[in-house]
Each structure stands twice: as C-alpha cells, then as structure tokens.
C-alpha cells in the first residue's frame, strides 16, 4: 500500500477504515495489532492549514491563513485528548455533567412533594363482560374494580392478555419478549394479597407492557436494535420497580424503532392495528399498537421528539408525555439526557393519570428527576380552566388533501373545546428558529452511541438510509461544540418566551403536528396529552393535543378527559382484534 505523503493530507472514510481493518484481519493480525495499524493510519493525517480550512466549510466559518497556522498545534493536541477519552468505557446510562432544569432556568423553586394523588374514576356496578375481547379492551378503572371485587382474577386476566399477545402480537410485530414466568408469579401474588384484603391500588393485578428500552432483570433489553439483541441488565428500571410496588403485572417487552426512532426494529416493522399495511409510527411503536389492540391493560413509552404523540395518534391510543423530570429514567436507554421522558400509553385519559400517579417522583439514579405535586380527580369542570389556542394552526388550508382532512377534524375538536371551556385565549408561540435546534438531540444521541459508531457496528442496524441513526450519528460528529452550547442558550430563551406566552392560560389545544410546537414543547419540557379526535376516510385515527404548563399535567388531563367524555372517540377499537 502506498504511504501518504507528509505534505499532502489524506483521510480514511469510515468505509475505507473498515475495509482496511478487514484486510488486516484477513492477514491474521490480532486485535492489538489492528488497533495499532488503525491509529497509525489516522496519525498519518496531519492537522495543517488545509485540513482546518476544509473543516471551516462544515462549520460555516472562515479564518485567515495565519489564524489556521496558530490553531494547528492545539488542534493536534485536542485530537490526542479525544483518543484518550475514547479509551474510557462509558455506559449508556452515565449522564453528562451538564443538565437541563426548566425550573432553575426560570428562577423557580416549586415545592418538593408528591401531592394528594389521583382519585379513581367512579365505576358503576360493573359485571364481567360476556366476551374475553370486551374484557381486554376495558379501561383501567373498570379492570381495577373487577379485580378488586374478585370478579376477575389477576391470573385469569394475565392469561387472557398473554394469549392475545401470542395470537395477535405476530400480526402487529409488536412483541419482542414475553415475560410469562415473571407475570404469572406477580399475578398469583396479587390474587393472594387481594384475597387477604391488601389492595395496593388501581394498578394491582393489572397486566401491562414495557417499551423495550426499559431494563427488566432476567430478560433481554434489546433497545429494538440488532447490536443489542442479547443485552441484559442485572436491575429493573426505576419505573418497572415502581409499577411492581403498585402491584402491576408486566407481561411483555414491546417493540420500539431501533434506538428509539421509527417503527422498524431488528425483527420487522410494527403495524398499525387499524391498517396492517401501515407502520404504527414510532418510536413507542409496540406500546401504542398493543394497547390499542387490547393486548395489554396499558403500556409505558418514551418521548424525546414525538415518540409518544406520534404512535398514539397512528394507533388511536391516549398518550401522556409528562413534564421533563417528572418521571425518573434510571434503567431506561439514554438517547438525549436533556430531552428524554417516560410516560404512559393507555385507552383513556383517566388511565394515564392512574399510571402517572404510580411512577412519578424523584429517582435517586436520575439527576434530572424531581418530586413535584401531582393531584387529579376525574370529572372536574373544564370551564374553570383558562384555555388557549393558536389561531393560525387551525386556520391553515394546506395543499395536501390528507392534511386538509385532518385539519377539518382539528377545527371540529376546537369547537367542542370551546363548548366545554367557554371563551378561548388566542396565543402566539415564540418565533425563534425552533427547527434549527433539533441538532441538540442529534449531538446527545451521537454521544450516547459513540462507541457504536466508532466500532462500525452501526452497520448492523436495519435502517441504513439518510434519515436514520447511523447516518445522523456520523453527521453529528461534525457539529461544533460551540454551536451545541449556543443552541442550548437559544433553548433557554425559547423556554422563557414560551412561559411568557402561556402566562394567561392553564393549557392550550393544538393540532398534534401543526407548526413546530411538538419539537418546541419537547425542547422546553412541557407536558402534553394526546387523544384521538376522529377517523380519516381510510379508517385510521387522527389526534388532538392538549399541552399544559410545566408540572401542570392535571390541567391538561382535565380538559382532555372532558373532551373524551363528550366525544367518545377513544371508545372505538380496531375491528380486526375483536376476538
């Protein structure tokens, strides 16, 4: 092989580097020798003015020749620092020594208490439904009453859901691992406790499913990605532990798009139960599909940028994205330390409140988590709320017929909200360049999966297209640290501007995907409840979103519940799963 000339800088692309290592491997060289050769090949690339000028183009900067000459030695030293740091093994769950704290950025010190809890919705004298399918689709409050009154045992209910997961899971491609042994042990324990008069609360004995980025001791935690297919952890995620304490019964680990993007995982593409030709959207793909199809009583998902809102919309489920920091993330795959949130996906608004009540509060292993008051009761009068909306989001008349169809449903939903809440307050959201901030997520995700990219094992991910993690991880390596910090400073401005815009309201209603509010509120950490609000001509659901102020999930839940009770869209179930 020709040696590079010292006067002519060269570089190896990731593909060239992999081919180089493969050739060396074929020659019988060991790992140590391969590493030494790779370092030698990289060190042959000098940090000189020409190389710096090339990098300037990526960063939209321009330095003089003298400035480049002065930079060269320091940049070469920085490269050595990068190599030294890369020799350190960093587990995915280790957070950076930086943090996003909305309260601190707003100069607030809210009270550190849990609140008065959630009131169980009143249940009429309820008899066990005639069919198992009807039983499977009941909301949590009804299931809870049946189990508490011992009209249905937890063992029986768990067996029903496990059977549905086996029969329907393959059609939806929504199950990665059944946790049958763990589930039956928990169900038998629940029945014994309830029979002895020890009722732990509304989730006691209720089967549920976990998005497979949550660690469960004794079972694989695959993150939906081929490189981690056999990965296990010797701990339960904090939310799994809390649901165990509440008496809930974990029956399955459900699919997610690989590393929490989309609905394509290493075993296929999770399907929309309303139309099996469609994916279920992502990344909480299996959580939404399984809940909507009556395969679990409820599920947990996660959201960084739409991963609860989007699949809940596609599958006709009800999703709750809590305030950033409301729910601890120990034992959950880290994608973006400053944006990741865990939350419930259910079949009604009241269900999401019951689940949130069980899982919220400070988590010792998650420095971003907080204990803040959460109290909610069903049936509150929504007319006592100050409700805002952004007129432009509802007035737009898009060219795309499918979007226009949904926008008509949005306006119908707004009319219902106006009937419920009275006069609405027009809002204007901040006009900062929200879309330009999206690379904050890219940078943090690339850091979380740095070793995957540098090892070349990102080639094992199923999706290898421009808009998929392997390419985005590589692109993010080219984002300057200064720009990342500047983006987060603009993010602080966005948070403060949005709080000022919402100062006169308790909650605002918006089309789920209009404008930039989905990314905006994920960057600022605001909570949102997404509920179905109609069906398209093709028979698939659409949704509307209720966004609360920080830590004010209760207000968003109150309005969303009133909307559901008035409209009943959440009571529709996909017909292909009625048996």
Cβ-in-10-Å burial (0-12, 13-18, 19+) of 400 comes to: exposed
Q: How far apart are CA 407 and CA 468, in angstroms?
A: 29
Distance of CA 7 to the CA centre of its chain: 49
Annotation marks residue 211 as catalytic: yes
Nearest CA among 131, 456, 147 for reference residue 297: 147
Check if the beta carbon of residue 329 is closer than 8 Å to that of residue 340.
yes
Sequence-separated (6 or more) residues with CB below 8 Å from residue 532: 313, 316, 317, 318, 541, 542, 543, 569, 570, 572
- Give the single-character DSSP code of 333: P
Compute the distance between CA of residue 188 and CA of residue 190 in angstroms, rounded to an integer: 5
User: Using CA atoms, how far apart are residues 40 and 28, in angstroms rounded to an integer?
Assistant: 18
- 307 part of the active site: yes
Containing 60, the helix (H) or strand (E) segment is none
Catalytic member of 144, 154, 302, 307: 307
Cα gap 511→483, rounded to integer Å: 31
Pick the catalytic residue from 144, 154, 211, 253: 211
Q: What is the rounded radius of gyration, in angstroms, for the C-alpha atoms of the chain?
A: 25
SS (H, E, C) 1-52: CCCCCCCCCCCCCHHHHHHHHHHHHHCCCCHHHHHHHHHHHHHCCCCCHHHH
Q: Is 516 a catalytic residue?
A: no
Q: What is the DSSP letter of 352?
A: H
Distance CA 428, CA 319 (A): 25
SS (H, E, C) 274-313: CEEEEECCCCCHHHHHHHHCCCCCEEEEEECCCCCHHHHH
Q: Is 383 helix (H, G, I), strand (E, B) or coil?
A: helix
Angle at 100 between CA 97 and CA 101, to 5 degrees: 115
CA distance 11 to 38: 12
100 contact partners, CB below 8 Å, separation of at least 6:
324, 337, 338, 339, 368, 488, 491, 525
Instruction: Please identify which of the residues 144, 153, 281, 283 carries the catalytic annotation.
Output: 283
Q: Is 568 exposed, middle or buried (0-12, 13-18, 19+ CB in 10 A)?
A: exposed
Q: With the C-alpha atoms ordered 280, 281, 284, 288, is the resulting torsion angle positive or negative?
A: negative
Query: Do 93 and 331 touch, CB atoms closer than 8 A?
Result: yes
- At residue 272, the 3 state secondary structure works out as strand
- Residues known to be catalytic: 211, 283, 307
């Amino acid at each position: 092989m020709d040696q590079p000339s010292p006067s002519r800088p060269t570089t190896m692309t990731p593909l060239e580097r992999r081919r180089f290592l493969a050739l060396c491997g074929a020659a019988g060289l060991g790992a140590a020798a391969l590493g030494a050769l790779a370092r030698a090949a990289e060190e042959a690339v000098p940090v000189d003015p020409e190389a710096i000028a090339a990098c300037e183009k990526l960063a939209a900067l321009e330095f003089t020749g003298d400035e480049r000459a002065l930079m060269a030695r320091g940049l070469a030293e920085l490269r050595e620092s990068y190599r030294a740091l890369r020799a350190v093994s960093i587990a995915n769950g280790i957070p950076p020594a930086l943090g996003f704290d909305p309260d601190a950025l707003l100069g607030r010190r809210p009270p550190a208490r849990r609140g008065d809890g959630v009131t169980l919705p009143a249940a009429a004298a309820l008899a066990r439904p005639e069919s198992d399918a009807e039983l499977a689709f009941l909301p949590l409050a009804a299931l809870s009453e049946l189990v508490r009154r011992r009209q249905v045992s937890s063992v029986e209910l768990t067996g029903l859901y496990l059977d549905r997961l086996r029969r329907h899971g393959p059609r939806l491609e929504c199950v990665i691992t059944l946790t049958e042994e763990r589930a039956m042990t928990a169900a038998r324990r629940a029945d014994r406790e309830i029979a002895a008069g020890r009722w732990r609360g509304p989730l006691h004995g209720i089967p549920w499913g976990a998005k497979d980025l949550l660690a469960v001791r004794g079972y694989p935690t695959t993150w939906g990605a081929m490189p981690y297919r056999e990965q296990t952890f010797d701990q339960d995620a904090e939310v799994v532990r809390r649901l165990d304490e509440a008496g809930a019964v974990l029956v399955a680990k459900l699919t997610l798009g690989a590393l929490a993007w989309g609905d394509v995982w290493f075993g296929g593409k999770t399907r929309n139960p309303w139309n099996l030709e469609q994916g279920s959207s992502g990344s909480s793909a299996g959580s939404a599909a399984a809940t909507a199809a009556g395969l679990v009583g409820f599920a947990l998902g996660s959201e960084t940028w739409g991963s609860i809102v989007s699949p809940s919309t596609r599958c006709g489920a009800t999703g709750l994205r809590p305030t950033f920091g409301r729910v601890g993330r120990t034992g959950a795959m880290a994608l973006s330390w400053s944006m990741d949130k865990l939350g419930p996906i259910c079949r009604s608004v009241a269900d999401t409140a019951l689940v949130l009540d069980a899982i919220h509060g400070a988590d010792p292993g998650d420095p971003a988590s907080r204990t803040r008051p959460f109290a909610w009761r069903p049936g509150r009068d929504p007319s006592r709320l100050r409700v805002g909306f952004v007129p432009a989001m509802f007035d737009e008349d898009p060219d795309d017929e499918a979007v226009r169809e949904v926008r008509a449903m949005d306006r119908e939903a707004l009319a219902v909200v106006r009937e419920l809440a009275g006069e609405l307050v027009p809002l204007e959201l901040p006009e900062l360049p929200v879309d330009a901030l999206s690379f904050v997520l890219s940078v943090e995700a690339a850091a979380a999966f740095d070793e995957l990219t540098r090892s070349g094992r990102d080639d094992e991910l199923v999706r290898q297209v421009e808009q998929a993690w392997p390419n985005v991880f590589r692109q993010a390596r080219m984002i300057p640290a200064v720009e990342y910090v500047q983006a987060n400073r603009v993010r602080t401005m966005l948070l403060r501007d949005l709080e000022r815009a919402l100062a006169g309201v308790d909650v605002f209603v918006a089309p789920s995907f209009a404008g930039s509010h989905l990314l905006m509120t994920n960057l600022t950490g605001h909570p949102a409840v997404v509920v179905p609000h109609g069906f398209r001509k093709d028979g698939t659901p659409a949704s509307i979103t209720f966004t609360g102020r920080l830590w004010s999930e209760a207000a968003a839940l109150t309005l969303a519940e009133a909307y559901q009770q008035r409209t009943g869209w959440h009571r529709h179930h996909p017909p292909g799963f009625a048996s």
